[in-house]
Amino acid sequence: MDFEAIIMEGTLILKIKGELDQYNADRYRLRFDMKIVSPEVQKVVIDISELSFMDSSGVGFLVGRFRTAKAFAKELVLVCNSNYINKLLSTCGIEKLIKKYTTIEEALS
């Protein structure tokens, strides 16, 4: 897994690429949380459009980041246009918890 973090006008954009599994979720949990709780961040956009694989640990990772953002009164949304990942998120009921968009532009508006 690889990720890129960009802060634009109070919005943290985290682009995740590759596989989001237990190994990677454990490795990146603290790094993501440190960025999310930054005082300059009001909104978090996690772009998972380029994930090639995600398991239940990846779903738990996303829910955990949502809870971290919520605890610090920050909005968190997802960007995803992968049929495979969308189906997984839908099956797990994530869409009821976290808003999801198909493009970063939609998520930023």
| Domains of the chain (ranges, CATH numbers) | 2-108 (3.30.750.24)
Sheet of 43-54: strands edge to edge?
A: 2-8, 11-20, 43-54, 75-79, 99-101
The answer to whether the predicted template modeling score (pTM) of the entire model surpasses 0.85 is yes
The closest alpha carbon to 1, from 16, 14, 13, 11, belongs to 16
Alpha-carbon span 52 to 19, nearest angstrom:
6
pLDDT digits (tens, 9 = 90+) for 26-73: 889 999 999 999 999 999 999 999 999 999 999 999 999 999 999 999
> Six-digit token pair at 40?
């300059």
